[in-house]
Amino acid sequence: METPNLNYINDLSGDNQEFKNKLIGILKRELPLEVELYENELKNGDYIQAALAVHKLKHKVSILGLEKSYYIASDYEDNLKEKSLVLKEDFENLLKAMQEFVIQL
């Protein structure tokens, strides 16, 4: 599995440390909320809403430089729309890695 990184954030912010800190702050604030929303929708059996939550999380996947994992998230989103949990474990492992990385920032 890929490792989350700050390459995209570093490229986007350039030498502007304030902007970089702002982006990291947004990640720290939004990621746990979006993961919780995904988990709740899945627990409630609402696959369509879970797919929407995954859609939002895909942006965080990209921001954290997880290019290959983006495709897992995208395919999992499509699977949820079809009421399939194929790729659930892969996606949730990705979420765990992202959360652990963001906590350390």
Confirm if 26 and 34 have CB atoms less than 8 A apart: no
Query: Residue 1 — pLDDT band, cuts 50, 70, 90?
Result: confident
Nearest of 101, 102, 96 to residue 38 by alpha carbon: 96
Find out whether 58 and 38 touch, Cβ atoms under 8 Å. Answer: no
Q: In terms of Cα–Cα distance, which of 36, 32, 34, 56 is closest to 44?
A: 36
| Chain Cα centroid distance, residue 92 | 10
Structure tokens at 59: 């942006």
pTM confidence score = 0.93
* Tens-digit pLDDT profile for residues 38-59: 999 999 999 999 999 999 999 9
Q: Are 61 and 1 in contact (CB under 8 A)?
A: no
